Structure 1
Amino acid sequence: GPPAATSCSPWPPLGRTGHGPAELAVQARREGGDWVLDGVQTAVPWAADADHLLIPAHPGAGPALLALVPRDRAGIGLDEQVSTSGERLAEVRLDGVRAAAHEVLDADGAWDWLRALLTTGTCALALGVGTAVLDLTSSYTSTREQFGHPLATFQAVAVQTADRYIDLRAMEATLWQAAWRLSRDEKDPEATANGALPVAGDVAVAKMWAADGVRRVVQTAQHLHGGFGAVTDYPLHRYHAWAKQLELSLGSAAAHEEELGELLAAHPLP
């Protein structure tokens, strides 16, 4: 059935222009006992099919809040978009959309936690895509022959696929580290032992590896497949498009490198 709710965290993802935080794309102001939302979020997944939209918004002062509102609420407009991978997206326009107090979560850190969950999930999806692409490439190079030998037996091919396998293992290790940190209470002494960075640091590292790793995997796969990589009735081109979307979703490697640098500057090692 249709999704019950979708998050208005833009999928290629940092607000309307791609250069600012998603919560800054929508402004929230108090009006009586309600909140009023104005702004635009772009590339919202499956918005046209969802019953509710989960919208991060900035109240002007204090932490970002989350508003869960029905998709058909007055003031909400949708324009259809299509992602690189073919996924249905939408530009969501909010013009004086009212959200009652019980529809708004304004607890400090709520949006940061949700964004960390979404980012970690994106890393997991990138790992799955990369693994499938490397399996496809291994199968192809094991059966495709040149000079009477399978491509996989040539050292140049073997070295490239081995490097991509290392990328996948690094993606997996950093993904599980981020997931483990998210599963722990930040107040748990074990989770912050030895002056560990906040969980956002582990999520940033995971997304850096996921973004760069999945890009390298699909690029190598295209190279080793030769012309077959561009054939539309062969699945590699679809994996490539999906990987490029995931690379940029919820922040590129460069964006997360910047975030990690800010965290390191704010939390010097003991």
Structure 2
Amino acid sequence: MDFTFTEEQQAAAEAARGVFAGVAPDGVPSPALTQGRPVADDLDRALWARLAAADLLSLLLDEESGGAGLDAVALCLVLREAGKVLARVPLLETSAAAAAVQAYGGPELRSALLARAGRGEIALTVAANGRTGHDAAELAVTARQDGGRDTGGGGDWVLDGVQTAVPWAYEADFVLVPAHTGDDRSVLAVVARGQEGTTLAEQISTSGERLGELRLESARIPARDVITADGAWEWLRALLATGTCALALGLGDRVLEMTSDYASKREQFGHPIASFQAVAVQTADRFIDLRAMEVTLWQAAWRTASGAPGALPASGDVAVAKIWASEGVRRIVQTGQHLHGGFGADVDYPLHRYHAWAKHLELSLGPAAAHEEALGDLLAAHPLG
């Protein structure tokens, strides 16, 4: 299997490196210093504008919407660079939500959102964590069509339920909310910020960023703003998970680089600690973690982008990528903190903030054991050979 990146994909990654070059992860305080308050009141608007100017918010959009028409692999290359600097922007959420609207939304919805999202005029996010963070997101909200059967046409849709830990809920202009209907189908409702029948309650993530608990009480959404196509939520969920793995890979890349640099300069007994066998073995193990995270990420991104056939559905590749990303990023930051010694526990040192972000990404991806169980079910349903 050839994972050589195309010229367009490499150009997107190079553009991202240029945009993120001036971002200083230590420019935002560690969540340990903010005493329960968010680390910032808004997303990084200056960075958001630079991403828009570099056409990095429209990577997945087609030319008709002012985009580059690229795929999930290109997006993950850009997200990897974002993870290295802990970029405080809804790049993943906006890109994935816009791609879902483009692939499954109606003409009116595409016309209203896509070009504006690609230009950075609006930000989008997705309520993907359900009512508690442990249950399926599409089961946390009910959707019924007023005055008729749930056929995707006709009257407004009415939504009731709760979605927790919605990223960028206070900054995004629209939230894509998965919901289930009376006949056990899933729909995606595009809910505007401040929509009548919705309320937000502030939550603070492990990384110190502000999240929102979104409550919907008879929130009435026009039919044109509800995506009823089969498979829309499943596809969007896979793209979000794959993108989160890319962020974890970028974060892990940077932490291992920081650790290697520190170990090569920190001396004990007259020698750099990097020359000690115990240190070398630990960093080598983390390098192996990174390479496993990388290869499983590109496999998942490729399958998500192409819908390529295989013995297993694409969800199998996504599950494998999530297993390696959630476990790998945790081991990498723990080793980094251990080898940094006292610096690793210093909340003023950037590594502390990387650790907080890594924990948030690990929790977002979910426990490896759950993904292993899901993968086992897939293997049972699709025996190999």
Fold shared by both chains (TM-score > 0.5):
yes
Please report the TM-score for the alignment, with normalisation by the length of structure 1.
0.92
Identity over aligned residues, as a percent?
Answer: 70
The one-character-per-residue Cα deviations of 1:124-175 (angstroms, maximum 9, x if unpaired) are 0000000100000001110101111100000000000000000000000000
**Residue 137 of structure 2: aligned partner:** 22
Q: What CA distance in whole angstroms lies between the structure 2 residues aligned with 1:210 and 1:4?
A: 26
Question: Root-mean-square deviation (CA), in Å?
Answer: 1.3
SS in 2 for 1:40: strand
**Larger mean Cα displacement after TM superposition, 162-171 or 247-256:** 247-256
Q: Following superposition of structure 1 onto structure 2, how do residues 246-265 of structure 1 map, counting pairs within 5 Å?
A: 246-265=361-380
1:136 correspondence with 2:258 = yes
What SS does the aligned partner of 2:215 have? strand
Counterpart position of 1:232: 347
- Match of 1:170? 292
> Which contiguous aligned blocks of 4+ residues in structure 1 show a shift greater than 4 angstroms?
none
For 1:99, the equivalent position in structure 2 comes to: 221
Q: Give the secondary-structure state (helix, strand or coil) at the position aligned to 2:282.
A: helix
Name the SS of the counterpart of 2:170 in structure 1: helix
The one of 280, 284, 309 equivalent to 1:192 is 309
Letter in 2 for 1:254: A
Q: Is the 8 A contact 1:78 1:91 kept in 2?
A: yes
Give the SS at the match of 1:172: helix
For residue 266 of structure 1, report the CA deviation from its aligned partner: 1.5
Deviation (angstroms), 1:253: 1.6
More divergent stretch after superposition (39-48 vs 243-252): 243-252
Cα separation, partners in 2 of 1:3 and 1:46, compared to 1, 3 Å = farther
1:3/1:49 contact within 8 Å kept: no
* Most deviating of 22-31 and 138-147: 22-31
- Normalized per residue, the structure richer in strand is 1
Instruction: Measure how far apart 1:17 and its partner are.
Output: 2.1
State the shift of 1:267 in Å: 1.2
TM-score, normalising length: structure 2: 0.65
Q: What does 1:208-223 align with in structure 2 at a 5 Å threshold?
A: 208-223=323-338
Partner of 2:161: 39
Provide the residue aligned with 1:188 in structure 2. none
- State which of 127, 133, 144 in structure 2 corresponds to 1:8: 127
The one-letter amino acid of 2:125's match is: T
